[in-house]
């Protein structure tokens, strides 16, 4: 057993403690309170008046699949040879030895949603996973966790060079609609064949989309510009599928529409330059404006676009621009967990959840704050020297 004591506990579950304790056993949180009595055999961490909070969650990044210091040898994020590749699984390309995982742990980031990039209209399957481990299989929380879909500039740019569709936004939307239509038809034919006990030849691409059609996992939509966000919402409504609005860079310009859609936004990476046209209106005010309208917001790094350990700083800048400290912390903990469909295990300090905890010597949104401990599944994976 492990007892964390003598710290400010931000549970992200409604109640906080100015000076509280967290008791961990077998990788799970078993008790949270002001005083917890234990025997002398329990290992104790003295938080020394620091901030104790749920492990930080990056709701959209490419850690492990786009290795930060490997060049081409570690670049497995885009299979830019076919605009429709839902069958690709991030877990087959993620390298747990990517040095970025160590950076994440040192920054208090314990969970990530990572997967393919935005070269293709449909890029493949994302995974929700922990940031400490040797084998991806042991690090998985949820897989598949989402299917990556991209709108806007990227698919156009990639396939224009190949003189192949899509070279316009119209073609991107049309390809996505056509593929989702095929997936719905495929699902019905498969179900009929099973009922009639007939042979059925499975289609690898279509099989990957059945969880989307069944609303078990969302489309993870890369969409920066306002019109691309609205196209993503439109298609999700047409096909009655779940969707998250990732990047949502111009979401503040259409906040009422985003709210009306009922979709969540994963905003970022904002701590970058305006490297392309669809980023011209990016702002750290976006999360606050969306939150004020009632949109659930998470903040992401899109690592390696922004190094993953700076996720709390990104949240801090959003807090400064109107989101506020409490909601900024939620945007990298419980909001991110709920949007990613993993809040049953992570995102808050509550009895029964995974013992993923970050301890800081102050407010983690401040640049001068240091990580003291990072704990994943009840194990200390980082301790400041």
Q: Is residue 385 predicted with pLDDT exceeding 90?
A: no
Examine the domain organization and report whether 255 and 290 are in the same domain. yes
What is the model's pLDDT at position 72?
87
User: What is the pTM (predicted TM-score) of this model?
Assistant: 0.97
How many C-beta neighbours within 10 Å does residue 74 have? 18
- The rounded distance, in Å, linking the Cα atoms of 21 and 33 is 5
- The rounded distance, in Å, linking the Cα atoms of 146 and 304 is 20
Summarize pLDDT for 4-23 with one digit per residue, the tens.
999 999 999 999 999 999 99
Summarize pLDDT for 242-281 with one digit per residue, the tens.
999 999 999 999 999 999 999 999 999 999 999 999 999 9
DSSP 293-324: TT--EEE--TTTTS-GGGHHHHHHHHIIIII-
Examine the domain organization and report whether 11 and 156 are in the same domain. no
Examine the domain organization and report whether 351 and 316 are in the same domain. no
Examine the domain organization and report whether 35 and 82 are in the same domain. no
Summarize pLDDT for 99-150 with one digit per residue, the tens.
999 999 999 999 999 999 999 999 999 999 999 999 999 999 999 999 999 9
Q: The domain spanning residue 72 has which CATH number? A: 3.20.20.140
Examine the domain organization and report whether 372 and 274 are in the same domain. no
Examine the domain organization and report whether 139 and 26 are in the same domain. no
Summarize pLDDT for 293-318 with one digit per residue, the tens.
999 999 999 999 999 999 999 999 99
Tokens encoding 349: 């300090």
Examine the domain organization and report whether 261 and 335 are in the same domain. yes
HSE-CB for 167 with a 13 A CA cutoff: 6
Tokens encoding 109: 């980031």
> Looking at residues 22-41, what average pLDDT do you find?
95
**Strands in the chain per DSSP E:** 2-10, 16-25, 28-33, 43-46, 51-54, 56-61, 109-114, 122-130, 140-150, 219-223, 243-247, 264-267, 297-299, 357-360, 371-376, 379-383
Examine the domain organization and report whether 193 and 333 are in the same domain. yes
Examine the domain organization and report whether 20 and 156 are in the same domain. no
Residue 366: which pLDDT band, with cuts at 50, 70 and 90?
very high
Candidates 282, 275, 236; CA nearest to 258 is: 236
- The rounded distance, in Å, linking the Cα atoms of 282 and 300 is 14
Examine the domain organization and report whether 229 and 86 are in the same domain. yes
Look at the chain and report how many structural domains it folds into: 2
> Looking at residues 165-182, what average pLDDT do you find?
98
Q: In terms of residue numbers, what domain contains 323? A: 56-346
> Looking at residues 60-64, what average pLDDT do you find?
98
Examine the domain organization and report whether 118 and 25 are in the same domain. no
Q: The domain spanning residue 357 has which CATH number? A: 2.30.40.10
Examine the domain organization and report whether 7 and 94 are in the same domain. no
């Amino acid at each position: 057993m492990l007892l964390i004591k003598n710290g400010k506990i931000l549970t992200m579950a409604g109640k906080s403690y100015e000076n509280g304790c967290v008791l961990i056993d077998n990788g799970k949180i078993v008790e949270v309170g002001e005083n917890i009595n234990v025997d002398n055999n329990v290992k104790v961490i003295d938080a020394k008046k620091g901030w104790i909070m749920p492990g930080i969650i990056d709701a959209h990044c490419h850690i492990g699949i786009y290795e930060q210091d490997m060049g081409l040898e570690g670049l497995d994020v885009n299979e830019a040879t076919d605009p429709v590749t839902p069958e690709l699984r991030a877990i087959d390309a993620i390298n747990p030895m990517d040095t970025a995982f160590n950076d994440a742990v040192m920054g208090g980031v314990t969970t990530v949603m990572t997967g393919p990039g935005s070269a293709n209209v449909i890029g493949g399957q994302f995974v929700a996973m922990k940031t400490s481990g040797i084998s991806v299989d042991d690090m998985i929380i949820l897989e598949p966790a989402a299917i990556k879909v991209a709108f806007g500039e990227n698919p156009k740019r990639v396939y224009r060079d190949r003189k192949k569709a899509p070279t316009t936004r119209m073609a991107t939307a049309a390809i996505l609609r056509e593929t989702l239509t095929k997936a719905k038809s495929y699902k019905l034919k498969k179900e009929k064949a099973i009922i009639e006990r007939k042979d059925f030849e499975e289609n690898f691409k279509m099989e990957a989309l059945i969880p989307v059609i069944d609303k078990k996992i969302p489309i993870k939509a890369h969409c920066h510009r306002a019109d691309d966000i609205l196209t993503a919402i439109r298609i999700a409504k047409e096909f009655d599928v779940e969707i998250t609005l990732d990047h949502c860079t111009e979401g503040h310009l259409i906040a009422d529409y985003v709210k009306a859609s009922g979709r969540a936004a994963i905003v970022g990476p904002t701590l970058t330059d305006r490297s392309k046209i669809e980023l011209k209106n990016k702002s750290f005010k976006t999360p606050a404006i969306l939150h004020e309208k009632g949109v659930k917001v998470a903040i992401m790094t899109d690592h390696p676009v922004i190094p993953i350990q700076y996720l709390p700083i990104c949240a801090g800048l959003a807090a400064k621009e109107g989101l506020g400290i409490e909601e900024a912390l939620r945007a990298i903990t419980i909001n991110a967990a709920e949007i990613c469909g993993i809040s049953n295990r992570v995102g808050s300090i509550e009895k029964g959840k995974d013992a993923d905890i970050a301890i800081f010597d102050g407010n983690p949104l401040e640049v001068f704050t240091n990580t003291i401990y990072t704990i994943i599944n009840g194990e200390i994976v980082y301790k400041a020297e």
